[in-house]
Amino acid sequence: MTRNKPPALAMQLDRCDVCGDKYHRADLVRTQVEFLDVAAENYLSYSSYDGTYWVVAIAEDTGTVSCGNRCDNVRTTLDSDNDISYINGVQTWTGLGALRSTVECGPFNSAHDVTFSAQVGPHEQNEDPEMTVSIGIANSDGSVTQEISSFTIKGTTRVWFNEEVATLEAYGLGDTAYYFFFYISIVNDGAWWIDELQLENNTVDGMPGNFTRASGTAVDSYDERILMTSRKVCKNCAEYILSKSERFGRTEESPIDEPVDSWAQEI
């Protein structure tokens, strides 16, 4: 099979979650895997746009019509009129605008620093992808903003700032001590999107850490951990079974046998 170009068989295509190559869905299998989840945190309640938590001023709402930072999760469909709709698309806006949190985040320790970040990019069909991005804090209604960092980008980019909590507090924009509203403004005539927003406290080097998604509740800081998940894989990426067979409690096995090594088992 040619990589990323399976023969046309009128069958649905999908990607292997490991190598990313395209295969017919019938040739992919699901398997449980153990993986290492690195340390992460996100003190925002929503890492994607949500009308109760984020508000966008001036720019026109275009709908969930961008592929965003994880385009393999997005699908397009055609209806009987050949109109395209997006499945798992990312919220998109058009023209000059600013996204702002409507809920304060905090309190943060005055001796710490915070890192606020987000993935930002132009729509795939944007004629002029270059845009200027300003990121910082604001007051409750967005009438006053304080820029902390700015970027000029032409493609999907993680924009961010890191600042001492005491410095942010000194701007006097929050309604409560050591609580803050955050904003990102965009200067571009075309369509653009913002996703994977994250707020971290006292990171090691000030840069954004591993992204973790928040969907209604902030994600408290957690250490590196081992988790189980399932993924769809092609035959080239199928792994050895990770769990070991144990003789204890297995009456059909000889009690003198040693546990079967995990690498002796395949799927």
Other Cβ atoms closer than 10 A to 155: 10
Q: For 182-192, what is the mean pLDDT?
A: 97
pTM of the model as a whole: 0.80
- Strand ranges in the chain using DSSP code E only, listed in sequence order: 13-15, 22-24, 29-37, 40-42, 54-57, 60-66, 75-78, 84-87, 90-94, 97-101, 113-122, 131-138, 145-153, 157-164, 181-187, 191-201, 219-222, 225-233
Q: How far is CA 163 from CA 62, 111, 255, in A?
A: 33, 11, 61
Q: Are 98 and 191 in contact (CB under 8 A)?
A: no
- For 168, the enclosing helix (H) or strand (E) is helix 165-170
Four-point Cα dihedral 204, 71, 216, 99, nearest 10: 80
Of the ranges 20-29, 52-61, 120-129, 242-251, which one carries the lowest mean pLDDT score? 242-251
pLDDT above 50 (res 262):
no
When pLDDT is cut at 50, 70 and 90, the band that residue 209 belongs to is very high
Q: How confident is the model at residue 138 (pLDDT cuts 50, 70, 90)?
A: very high
Tell me the residue ranges of DSSP E strands in 67-170: 75-78, 84-87, 90-94, 97-101, 113-122, 131-138, 145-153, 157-164
Q: State the pLDDT at residue 74.
A: 85
> Torsions phi, psi of 85, nearest 5?
-130, 155
In the three-class reduction of DSSP (H, G, I as helix; E, B as strand; rest coil), residue 191 is classed as strand
Q: State what percent of residues in the chain have pLDDT above 70.
A: 88
Helix-then-strand count for the chain, H and E? 1, 18
Token pair in block for residue 94: 């058009």
Q: When comparing pLDDT for 233 and 33, which is higher?
A: 233
Task: Please give the pLDDT value at position 14.
Answer: 84
- Indicate whether 244 pLDDT > 80: no
Instruction: Output the CA torsion 203→209→211→216 (10° steps).
Output: 10
Measured distance CA(217)–CA(99) in Å, rounded: 19
Supply 58's token pair.
């001036």
Question: Average pLDDT in the 163-169 region?
Answer: 97
Average pLDDT in the 180-202 region? 97
Pick from 231, 229, 234: nearest CA to 13: 234
Task: State the pLDDT at residue 213.
Answer: 94
Place 198 in a pLDDT band, splitting at 50, 70 and 90. very high
Q: Report the 10 Å Cβ neighbour count for 234.
A: 21
Amino acid 241: pLDDT = 60
Sorting pLDDT into bands at 50, 70 and 90, what band is 81? confident
Q: Is the pLDDT of residue 264 over 70?
A: no
Summarize pLDDT for 25-69 with one digit per residue, the tens. 889 998 877 778 889 999 999 999 999 999 999 999 999 999 999
Q: What is the pLDDT of residues 3-27, one digit of tens each?
A: 777 777 767 888 888 888 888 888 9
pLDDT at 257: 43
> Cα–Cα distance between 68 and 112 in angstroms, integer?
32
For residue range 86-102, list pLDDT tens digits in order.
888 999 999 999 999 99
Spell out the residues 6+ positions from residue 97 whose beta carbon is closer than 8 angstroms to its own: 56, 57, 58, 59, 60, 185, 186
Domains of the chain: 13-37+227-264 (no CATH), 40-223 (2.60.120)
Rounded CA gap, 173 and 33, in Å? 46
Average pLDDT of the residues in 221-239 = 85
